[in-house]
């Protein structure tokens, strides 16, 4: 029963209307080790064709999943992208092709994988998403250069057969011609040695090559056969050593495929992938929400169930959390127990790297006196304090043995002499400089108490705004 309930459990992380393009993000299988995001970006009026794109069905193909992540920056004027930037995140965290076997060989039928196989739940969701799509593209990295050595998969655009329907239930389409055109155009921008080739597997036929026979249970063949939609496998060579270049090649062929399919863009992403940078961890517990800066220790006044609800960093996808002594590979959204006398170390990962940590313990936290809209109150260490539109907050100027100044990032006090101490100055949302926020939307601003160079206090100011959710999404 629990499994059934969890199966399509979805949380909406955010939705935004950005200059005519609608952005919508859901997380599937939340509160499990297998949670993965699904992003929808749609033009405001002309929502077809709908192109479904998988990145990271194989966990050791960073070019594929980083390219899908970059596509989340696109803004459309015609069509819809449904992006899965981390399909097989469990295997990505381990940097292996498939921790529970090859997920891309589990689409043939429900009996192909055993009931206890965690991939089964993911594959079932993936098949449902195909039902929404007019076109399907599965991104991969593979060895070799197909144009030079035809047995290898690298630098190829794979199709399962020459004809499909497009849009759904509409006109037959020559995908061989369409894919061939995309490849020809992309190749104009590549050196001869790195050119792509179109490869028709003719998956319907009996295959001599066992690797091609296996494709009968792949995602792309399932989409082609069951939904009769144009379906592509895009393979960038693993022999290209730089992930940045792999992403560039993925985006180059995708751009030409989108053009051939009639998807139009207001802006198309560049291929630059920033190294991950951790900015903060959000926890939820019995007494509210808390902020833990990287490398810090957080005293919490009460034991009980806590969960990590958000990671702030310079990258949107790929984050995970582990706790020393607690079971599980990814504890994001999963409640855990913090006991009296216990020191819990929390490790933050990005894809397969560990990049930061923090500590939790039950101990009396220091607190800062503030006045929020005329009401005096105490905010304990780490607290996330919300400021509504029109409200003001000011930090008490009373002497403290713990800190000499309070510095709210993104706030410039009017007093130019003592510019790094923000005590005594009323703060409101309109005075905050958004580029100093932890998040790209510009809503979360850390504040630090300092004694000399040492950080002796921290908390987080959240700026609440009008709801930006679009009225509907189709």
On whether the CB atoms of residues 204 and 221 are closer than 8 A, the answer is no
Cα 195 to Cα 145: distance, rounded to the nearest angstrom: 8
Give the up-direction half-sphere exposure of residue 156: CA atoms within 13 A in the CB hemisphere.
22
On whether the CB atoms of residues 451 and 403 are closer than 8 A, the answer is yes
How far apart are CB 178 and Zn ion at their closest, in Å? 22
Count of beta carbons in the 10 Å neighbourhood of residue 200: 15
Measured from the CB atom, is 140 or 248 closer to Zn ion?
Answer: 140
- Contact region for Zn ion (CB under 5 A) — 59-67, 177-185, 369-377, 404-412? 59-67
Q: Give the helix/strand (H/E) hosting 88.
A: none
How many residues touch Zn ion under the rule CB under 5 A: the total is 3
User: For Zn ion, what does the binding mask look like between residues 279 and 298, x meaning CB under 5 A?
Assistant: --------------------
How far apart are CB 33 and Zn ion at their closest, in Å? 21
Chain positions 122 to 141 lying near Zn ion, rule: CB under 5 A, are 140
Contacts with 454 (C-beta within 8 Å, 6 or more apart), sequence order: none
How far apart are CB 257 and Zn ion at their closest, in Å? 18
DSSP state of 214: G
How far apart are CB 306 and Zn ion at their closest, in Å? 37
Chain positions 369 to 428 lying near Zn ion, rule: CB under 5 A, are none
Cα 113 to Cα 108: distance, rounded to the nearest angstrom: 10
Give the residue carrying structure tokens 């498939």.
98
How far apart are CB 474 and Zn ion at their closest, in Å? 32
Measured from the CB atom, is 65 or 444 closer to Zn ion?
Answer: 65
How far apart are CB 139 and Zn ion at their closest, in Å? 8
Measured from the CB atom, is 43 or 215 closer to Zn ion?
Answer: 215
- Contact region for Zn ion (CB under 5 A) — 58-66, 156-164, 355-363, 413-421? 58-66
How far apart are CB 292 and Zn ion at their closest, in Å? 36
Cα 275 to Cα 358: distance, rounded to the nearest angstrom: 20
Measured from the CB atom, is 140 or 310 closer to Zn ion?
Answer: 140
Contacts with 371 (C-beta within 8 Å, 6 or more apart), sequence order: 377, 393, 394, 396
On whether the CB atoms of residues 422 and 395 are closer than 8 A, the answer is yes
Measured from the CB atom, is 195 or 238 closer to Zn ion?
Answer: 238
Position among 35, 40, 48, 58 found at the interface with Zn ion (CB under 5 A) = 58
With binding defined as CB under 5 A, does residue 146 bind Zn ion?
no
Nearest to 469 by CA among 13, 10, 17: 17
Q: Which residue is nearest to Zn ion (CB)?
A: 140
How far apart are CB 273 and Zn ion at their closest, in Å? 19
**Which tokens belong to 274?**
């920033």
- Contact region for Zn ion (CB under 5 A) — 52-60, 218-226, 246-254, 318-326? 52-60
How far apart are CB 86 and Zn ion at their closest, in Å? 14
In sign, the C-alpha dihedral spanning 157, 161, 162, 166 is negative
Measured from the CB atom, is 58 or 146 closer to Zn ion?
Answer: 58
* Strand ordering across the sheet containing 384-387: 384-387, 454-463, 444-451, 405-408
Cα 224 to Cα 230: distance, rounded to the nearest angstrom: 6
Cα 342 to Cα 334: distance, rounded to the nearest angstrom: 19
How far apart are CB 103 and Zn ion at their closest, in Å? 9
Measured from the CB atom, is 48 or 58 closer to Zn ion?
Answer: 58
In sign, the C-alpha dihedral spanning 443, 449, 452, 453 is negative
How far apart are CB 58 and Zn ion at their closest, in Å? 4
Cα 458 to Cα 152: distance, rounded to the nearest angstrom: 54
Chain positions 60 to 89 lying near Zn ion, rule: CB under 5 A, are 61
Give the residue carrying structure tokens 């955010």.
14
Measured from the CB atom, is 7 or 211 closer to Zn ion?
Answer: 211
Measured from the CB atom, is 92 or 281 closer to Zn ion?
Answer: 92
The separation between CA 293 and the C-alpha centre of its own chain, rounded to angstroms, equals: 21
Measured from the CB atom, is 104 or 194 closer to Zn ion?
Answer: 104
Measured from the CB atom, is 58 or 70 closer to Zn ion?
Answer: 58
Given the rule CB under 5 A, which residues bind Zn ion? 58, 61, 140
């Amino acid at each position: 029963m629990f499994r059934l309930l969890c199966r399509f459990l979805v949380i909406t992380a955010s939705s935004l209307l950005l200059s005519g393009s609608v952005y919508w993000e859901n997380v599937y299988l939340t509160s499990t080790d297998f949670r993965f995001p699904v992003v929808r970006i749609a033009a405001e009026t002309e929502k077809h064709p709908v192109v479904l794109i998988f990145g990271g069905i194989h966990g050791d193909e960073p070019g594929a999943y980083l390219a899908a992540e970059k596509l989340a920056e696109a803004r459309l004027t015609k069509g819809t992208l449904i992006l899965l930037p981390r399909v097989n995140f469990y295997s990505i965290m381990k940097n292996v092709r498939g921790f529970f076997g090859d997920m891309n060989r589990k689409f043939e039928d429900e009996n192909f994988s055993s009931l206890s196989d965690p991939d089964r739940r993911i594959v079932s969701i993936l098949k449902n998403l195909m039902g929404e799509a007019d076109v399907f593209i599965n991104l991969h990295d593979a060895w070799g250069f197909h144009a030079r050595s035809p047995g290898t998969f690298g630098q190829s655009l794979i199709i399962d057969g020459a004809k499909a329907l497009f849009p759904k239930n509409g006109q037959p389409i020559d995908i061989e011609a369409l894919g061939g055109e995309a490849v020809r155009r992309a190749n104009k921008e590549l050196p001869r040695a790195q050119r792509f080739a179109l490869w028709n597997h003719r998956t319907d036929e009996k295959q001599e090559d066992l690797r091609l026979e296996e494709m009968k249970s792949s995602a792309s063949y399932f989409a082609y056969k069951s939904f009769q939609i144009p379906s592509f496998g895009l393979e960038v060579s693993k022999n290209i050593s730089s992930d940045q270049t792999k992403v560039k090649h993925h985006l180059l062929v995708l751009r030409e495929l989108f053009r051939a399919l009639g998807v139009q863009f207001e802006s198309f992403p560049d291929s630059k992938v920033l190294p991950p940078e951790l900015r903060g961890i959000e926890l939820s517990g019995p007494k509210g929400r808390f902020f833990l800066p990287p490398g810090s220790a957080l005293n919490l006044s009460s034991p009980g169930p806590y969960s990590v609800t958000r990671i702030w960093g310079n990258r949107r996808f790929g984050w995970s959390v582990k706790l020393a002594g607690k079971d599980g590979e990814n504890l994001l959204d999963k409640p855990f127990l913090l006991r009296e006398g216990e020191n819990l170390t929390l490790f933050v990962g990005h894809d397969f790297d560990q990049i930061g940590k923090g500590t939790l313990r039950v101990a009396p936290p220091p607190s800062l006196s503030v006045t929020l809209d005329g009401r005096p109150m105490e905010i304990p260490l780490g607290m996330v304090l919300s400021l509504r539109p029109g409200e003001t907050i000011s930090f008490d100027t009373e002497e403290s043995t713990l800190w000499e100044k309070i510095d709210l990032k993104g706030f410039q006090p009017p007093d130019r002499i003592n510019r790094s101490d923000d005590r005594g100055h009323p703060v409101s949302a309109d005075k905050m400089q958004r580029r100093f926020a932890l998040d790209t939307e510009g809503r979360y601003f850390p504040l630090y108490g300092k004694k000399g160079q040492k950080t002796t206090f921290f908390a987080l100011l959240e700026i609440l705004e009008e709801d930006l959710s679009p009225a509907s999404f189709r």
